[in-house]
Chain A
Amino acid sequence: MSETLVPFDEVVERFDPALGLEIHVELNTNTKMFCGCPAVFGGEPNTQVCPTCLGLPGAMPVVNGKAVESAIRIGLALNCEIAEWCRFARKNYFYPDMPKNFQTSQYDEPIAFEGYLDVTVPDENGGEGETFRIEIERAHMEEDTGKSSHVGGSDGRIHGADYSLVDYNRAGIPLIEIVTKPILGTGDKAPLVAKAYVSAIRDLIVALGVSDARMDQGSIRADVNLSLAPKGSGVLGTRSETKNVNSLRSVERAVRFEMSRHAGILDAGGSVLQETRHFHENDGTTSSGREKSDAEDYRYFPEPDLVPVAPSREWVEELRATLPENPAVKRTRLQGEWGFTDLEMRDTVGAGALDLVEQTVAAGAAPQAARKWWLTELARRANDAGVELTELAVTPAQVAAVQALVDAKTINDKLARQVFDGLLAGEGTPEEIIAARGLAVVSDEGALSAAVDKAIAENPDIADKIRDGKLAAAGALIGAVMKEMRGQADAGRVRELVLEKLS
């Protein structure tokens, strides 16, 4: 079916978008939500299972206390109220990856409810960003399903597959589902607000330490609900629900695409189907998901095999005291302390280097120097190695030590890069690497002076330009000297000598 897509600019001229986001966070508890099986990613299929998570006849669930704790901490971090008494409920539907053909979840009695999270959408032109308050309806506990893989047929979908396999290792892994209220008034910022919200949730989850928070591995999964209403009408349109959008960029693109698609349908006088949709990473489009009916009646009722969860107020307050600084507040504080521009701060956060820079500064480096190393030299190396910055075999303390050696003029920036080579190769401390590789800058004034004289003699034209006051030409001479010294010279001192001799 071909769809008419309305250009985004036109959509926001004539329509008000309403967003809704449901984020599933896979907790990093040792064991599953309702049994003692390990809750770790990977593992041979169907090896991390027991009667309970396989749904064998007679087996019963027992609530994982650690998961409840994580749920409460997430709820508190989202400024939610924590239920004094809540229950699990069964969500009934048939699907082969559901061991019991019901999911043990929470329905009308979530553990956390009525919260909010403030997110800031950066200004395109580098100005002050705009802050939106996202109202949180609820955060509730539930169990993950097994994982189906469809073999044969087209693109791994169930339709047309030759057969399907189910891995129940994932069945029963604790999930927290965070549901927003309808997010209104975002206008043309809707895609960015959605992205900023998911990003903020991810940061929060990382700071809480309750999940691996890897969107690429599915430990954070976002469902994006979107509807449009005629501008200024104040009503809510029919929504579509795009499932399992697995990167921040995809969240933004999915919202953008759905806005254009909805507008096309509404412009043509059609009505939007309330349905589940799939997002396609390759072209940024969505398509109708026919696998589950959205209008299904889940026949929720309280899980009779579990007793209510009733966290004491004392416990809730104890957990509140363990909450880390709100990531957004922390960011603002650090930016002030470091004197970074908005752009520098955004790049630092975007590169996942905020904590690394913070630790490097704490180890004694100047903030700008710390930022420079992590965002250029080390980011490039992480990228080359295909790993996260945090996974690189260089610690913030080592970066601070290298910068201290630069500050002491023992090495220069170029030599520092070779020190990082040595660190990554595991050759010892920065000092040991400098000694072993013979990297220290030459501080012998005589040798340096001779090299400068030689460079002037070999480049008379450039020397003349400098004598005529064209100081920018000095770079070429400095380069020649550095080459002669095989890089082991203090470029600042070389510049001083060149200018001295040609003045």
Chain B
Amino acid sequence: MSELIKKTAAELAGALAAGETTSVELTRAHLDRIAAVDGTAESGVHAFLHVDAEGALAQAAASDARRAAGQSRHLLDGVPIAVKDVLATQGLPTTCGSKILEGWVPPYDATVVRRIKEAGLPILGKTNMDEFAMGSSTEHSAYGPTRNPWDQTRIPGGSGGGSAAAVAAFEAPLALGTDTGGSIRQPGAVTGTVGVKPTYGGVSRYGLVALANSLDQVGPVTRTVLDSALLHELIAGHDPLDSTSVDAPVGSYVAAAREGAKGDLAGLRVGVIKELAGDGWQPGVMERFAETVDLLKELGAEVTEVSCPTFVHAMATYYLILPAECSSNLAKFDAMRYGLRVVPEGDPSAEAVMKATRDAGFGDEVKRRIMIGTYALSSGYYDAYYGQAQKVRTLISRDFAAAFEGVDVLVSPTSPTTAFPLGEKLDDPLAMYLQDLATIPANLAGVPGISVPAGLAAEDGLPVGFQVLAPALADDRLYRVGAAVEAALTQRWGGPILGEAPTLEGPR
């Protein structure tokens, strides 16, 4: 195994700048790693749905040529990246983990993809995910699950299990994810990696195949807080193609991460969310969380307990708004213009083709949410369901606003449990939904959140995530606090947490 793949993106950028390596060399190293450990739907990590070795190497060669000519475009120019398969990539398949989009190759790039291409980051491939980002385990991918590098009998989280596992398994130093209710942060927590959901509108959604438009946000998936900050600054900023993108200057995330890594949080006011704890929360998770809160105090922060009473309704609210929006978003998959087309026997009408295609092309979880959403928007039920959910959503935002009057950041465990065994919750959607209990409120309110590794749970030795939430547009606070926690814990552990993960062998 090449030592290059163990380096962080910031280190790789430094090595490239110092002429110690080339983009082709390190892109090839990551492609080799993918070939060695990623395997297939049946075995191996299976973080990737599509690997673009040829394209990545060509982009790497172009990056090296630019560097030789003194025309590098960005600090990360030449550092390879993996992209969640929910983002449109021109010339590369984009399936969203669904059979209904099998073979679809977008004729355009998502804005975030365009930005990483323009900055010169070679795209290694597209990562696995729950179908249309619906799930917390990546088991709902139509192309087979991703397996957790810490224990391949367990889930890597979801929906962005592919991006998190790719980074955790050293198949990529950087990845892009999307977070609608925790799809970046919860996989980060259960794979011992870092994941950031930016402020809603902070990063363009153009080219992100929407799950729930009012909740979705693209964000970085990395092994360090600094790497997330570097990637976040690259992809953030106003996009005229996304009306909901914020027209404000991008914050100084890298500077905040470097400042935080110094370990001084004196004067920082931290609120522990009272409602995000209690029965059903794994003891090992709560232990690591309490320990990390104590760490914040040691670093100088003032910690108080904060109550956000409406958060207990966040789950119910989320599971009305999300299905409503997605039931409409997914209507476009009708076999008329692209993707799967199933033609029934005989001389079927367009309507019959639509029905047969959607029946064959969507998985059960997708159908479940389409039905719930269709119902919630129906005449006579709208006010009771969708309308009511929007009101609760407003109350949740108010709880955040009230809390942030007294504290600078809020904290909680990212996820109630560590990675659970594959298949354990597949037949119990409600148990699966509970995985996102702590991450959903941030999406409903549009505020940013980060998950950083907080250690391993005593009972199973699996990673636990520590979540930090900040007010809208104050994403820099996530980096300051996240980097402080990361620096102190890494020192305590004597190295990065992924050093504790088992060494991966190639698939048997």
- Name A residues whose Cβ lies closer than 8 Å to a Cβ of B: 51, 54-63, 90, 92, 94, 96, 99-102, 164, 166, 297, 299-301, 304-307
Chain A residues whose CB sits within 8 angstroms of the CB of B101 once the complex forms? 57
- Chain B residues with Cβ below 8 Å from A101 are 331-332, 334
CA distance A55 to B331 in the complex (A): 10
Question: When the two chains form their complex, are residues B213 and A100 in contact, meaning their CB atoms are under 8 A apart?
Answer: no
Contacts of A61 in B (CB 8 A): 243
Choice from B243, B332, B374 contacting A57 with Cβ under 8 Å: B332
CB distance from B141 to the nearest CB of A (A): 17
Q: A501–B300 Cα gap in the complex (Å)?
A: 125
Would you call A297 and B328 a contact (CB within 8 A)?
A: no
Q: B42 interface residue, CB < 8 Å from A?
A: no
Chain A residues within an 8 Å CB radius of B212:
304
Among A60, A92, A306, which residue has the most Cβ atoms of chain B within 10 A? A60
9 sampled A-B residue pairs with Cβ under 8 A: A51-B106, A56-B337, A57-B96, A57-B338, A63-B243, A99-B337, A101-B334, A301-B324, A307-B243
> Is B242 interfacial (CB 8 A cutoff)?
yes
User: What are the residues of chain B within 8 A of A99 when measuring CB–CB?
Assistant: 332, 337
Q: Is the CB of A94 within 8 A of B210?
A: no
Q: Which residues of chain B are within 8 angstroms of A164 by Cβ–Cβ distance?
A: 350
Q: How far, in angstroms, from A198 to B110 measured CA to CA in the complex?
A: 44
- Smallest Cβ distance from B413 to chain A, in angstroms? 29
Q: Which of B106, B108, B350 has the most CB of A within 10 A?
A: B350
- The answer to whether the Cβ of B280 comes within 8 Å of any Cβ in the partner chain is no
Q: Evaluate contact between B241 and A305: CB separation under 8 angstroms.
A: no
Please state if B108 and A51 are interface contacts (CB–CB under 8 Å).
yes
Given known A58-B206, A61-B243, contact A51–B331 (CB-CB < 8 A): no
Q: How far is the CB of A407 from chain B (nearest CB, A)?
A: 60
Knowing A99-B337, A102-B331, A297-B379, say if A60 contacts B106 (CB, 8 Å).
no
Within 8 Å of chain A (Cβ to Cβ): is B336?
yes
**Chain B residues in 8 Å Cβ range of A90:** 328
Please give me the residue from chain A that is nearest to B208 by CB atom. Answer: A58
CB-CB under 8 A from B213, the residues of chain A are: 304-305
Complex contact A96–B104 (CB within 8 A): no
CB distance from A252 to the nearest CB of B (A): 34
Chain B residues near A58 (CB-CB < 8 A) = 87-88, 94, 106, 110, 206-210
Other-chain contact of B338, A56, A94, A96, A299 (Cβ < 8 Å): A56
User: Which of B94, B206, B240, B242 is the most central at the interface, judged by chain A CB atoms within 10 Å of its CB?
Assistant: B206
Those of B78-96 within 8 Å (CB) of chain A: 87-88, 94, 96
B320-378, CB < 8 A from A: 324-325, 327-328, 331-334, 336-338, 350-351, 354, 374, 377-378
Nearest 6 pairs of A and B residues by beta carbon: A101-B331, A304-B213, A299-B377, A304-B214, A57-B209, A58-B88
A60 close to B241 (CB less than 8 A): yes
Residues of B within 8 A of A96 (CB): 334, 336, 350
Interface size of B by CB at 8 A reads 44
| Chain A residues whose CB sits within 8 angstroms of the CB of B331 once the complex forms | 92, 94, 100-102
Interface residues of B in 207-236 (CB under 8 A from A): 207-210, 212-214
Q: Which residues of A contact B379 (CB under 8 A)?
A: 297, 299
B466 within 8 A of A: no
Nearest B residue to A168 via CB reads B337
Question: Of A99, A300, A305, which is in contact with the most chain B CB atoms at under 10 Å from its CB?
Answer: A305
Q: Which residue of B lies closest to A100 (CB)?
A: B332
Rounded to whole Å, the gap between the CB of B330 and the closest CB of chain A is 9
Q: How many angstroms from the CA of A58 to the CA of B240 in the assembled complex? A: 15
Chain B: minimal CB distance from A430 (Å):
54
**B382 contacts the other chain (CB 8 A):** yes
Q: Which residue of A lies closest to B380 (CB)?
A: A297
Of A58, A301, A307, which is in contact with the most chain B CB atoms at under 10 Å from its CB?
A58
The distance in angstroms between the C-alpha atoms of A99 and B325, with both chains bound, is 17
Smallest distance from the beta carbon of B471 to chain A beta carbons, Å?
20
B209 / chain A contacts, CB cutoff of 8 Å: 57-58
Main secondary structure of the interface of B (DSSP, over half): loop
Contact assessment for A54 and B337 in the assembled complex, using a CB-CB cutoff below 8 Å: yes
**A57-B334 in contact (CB<8A):** no
Docked complex Cα distance between A304 and B104 (Å):
25
A166 close to B244 (CB less than 8 A) = no
Q: Which residue of A lies closest to B373 (CB)?
A: A299
Are A57 and B104 in contact, CB atoms less than 8 angstroms apart? yes
**Interchain CB contact (< 8 A) of A60 among B107, B242, B377:** B242
Chain B residue at minimal CB-CB distance from A92: B328
Assembly CA distance A94 to B379 (angstroms): 17
Residues of chain B within 8 A (CB-CB) of A60 are 205-206, 241-243
Docked-complex contact B351 and A306, CB < 8 angstroms? no
Q: Is the CB of B243 within 8 A of A305?
A: yes
Closest to B104 in A: A57
Question: In the complex, what's the smallest C-beta–C-beta distance from A237 to chain B, in angstroms?
Answer: 23
Residues of A within 8 A of B208 (CB): 58
Q: How far is the CA of A59 from the CA of B331 in the complex (A)?
A: 14
Collect the chain B residues with CB atoms within 8 Å of residue A166's CB: 336
- B386 in the interface (beta carbon within 8 A): yes
Contacts A60-B243, A94-B354, A101-B334 aside, 11 further interface pairs with beta carbons under 8 A come to A56-B107, A57-B332, A58-B106, A60-B206, A62-B243, A90-B328, A92-B328, A92-B331, A94-B351, A96-B334, A99-B332
In whole Å, how far is A325's beta carbon from the nearest beta carbon of chain B? 36
- Residues on B with beta carbons closer than 8 Å to the beta carbon of A51: 88, 106-108
Chain A residues in 8 Å Cβ range of B107? 51, 56
Chain A residue contacts of B377, Cβ below 8 A:
92, 299-301
Q: Roughly how many angstroms separate A301 CA and B329 CA in the complex, as a whole number?
A: 12
| Residue from B94, B205, B207, B336 whose CB has the most chain A CB atoms within 10 Å | B336
A148 — nearest CB in chain B belongs to which residue?
B350
Contact of A59 among B207, B244, B354 (CB under 8 A): B207
Kindly provide the distance from the CB of A33 to the nearest chain B CB, expressed in whole angstroms.
Answer: 13
| CB nearest to A35 among chain B residues | B241
CB distance from A6 to the nearest CB of B (A): 35
**Closest-CB distance, B377 to chain A (whole angstroms):** 4
Q: B145-161 toward A: CB 8 Å interface, digit per residue (1/0)? A: 00000000000000000
Distance, CA A306 to CA B213, complexed state (A): 10
Contact A57 to B205, CB < 8 A, known contacts A62-B240, A99-B332, A306-B243 = no
Query: Which residues, 186 to 212 on B, are CB-close (under 8 Å) to A?
Result: 205-210, 212
With CB as the reference atom, state the residue of chain B lying closest to A52.
B241
Q: For residue B337, which residues in chain A have a CB less than 8 angstroms away from its CB?
A: 54-56, 99
A103 to chain B, nearest CB (A): 11
Closest to B94 in A: A57
- The CA-CA distance from A249 to B350 in the complex, in Å, is 35
Asked if A299 and B104 make an inter-chain contact with CB atoms under 8 angstroms apart, the answer reads no
CB-based nearest B residue for A166: B336
Taking a contact as CB atoms under 8 Å apart, the answer to whether A304 and B325 are in contact is yes
Q: How far apart are B444's CB and chain A's nearest CB, in angstroms?
A: 13
Chain B residue contacts of A57, Cβ below 8 A: 88, 94, 96, 101, 104, 106, 209, 332-333, 338
Chain B nearest CB: distance from A90 CB in Å? 5
* Residue among A96, A164, A304 with the highest chain B CB neighbour number at 10 A: A304
Complex Cα distance, B379 from A301, in Å, reads 11
- Give the CA-CA distance A143 to B87 in the complex, in Å: 26
Return B324 CB to nearest CB of chain A, in Å. 6
Are B378 and A299 within 8 A (Cβ)? yes
> Nearest A residue to B374 by beta-carbon distance?
A299
Would you give the shortest CB distance from A50 to chain B, in whole angstroms?
8
Q: Which residues of B contact A306 (CB under 8 A)?
A: 243-244
Give the CA-CA distance A92 to B325 in the complex, in Å. Answer: 11
**In the complex, what distance in Å separates the CA atom of A96 from the CA atom of B354?**
9
Residues of B within 8 Å of A299, CB to CB, are 327-328, 374, 377-379, 382
Chain A contacts for B333, CB-based, 8 A: 57
**Interchain CB contact under 8 A, B324 and A297:** no
Distance between A492 CB and nearest chain B CB, rounded to angstroms: 70
The digit string for B5-31, where 1 denotes a CB below 8 A from any CB of A, is 000000000000000000000000000
Proximity string of chain B (101-118) to chain A, C-beta cutoff 8 Å, 1 when within and 0 when not: 100101110100000000
A440 CB to nearest chain B CB (Å): 65
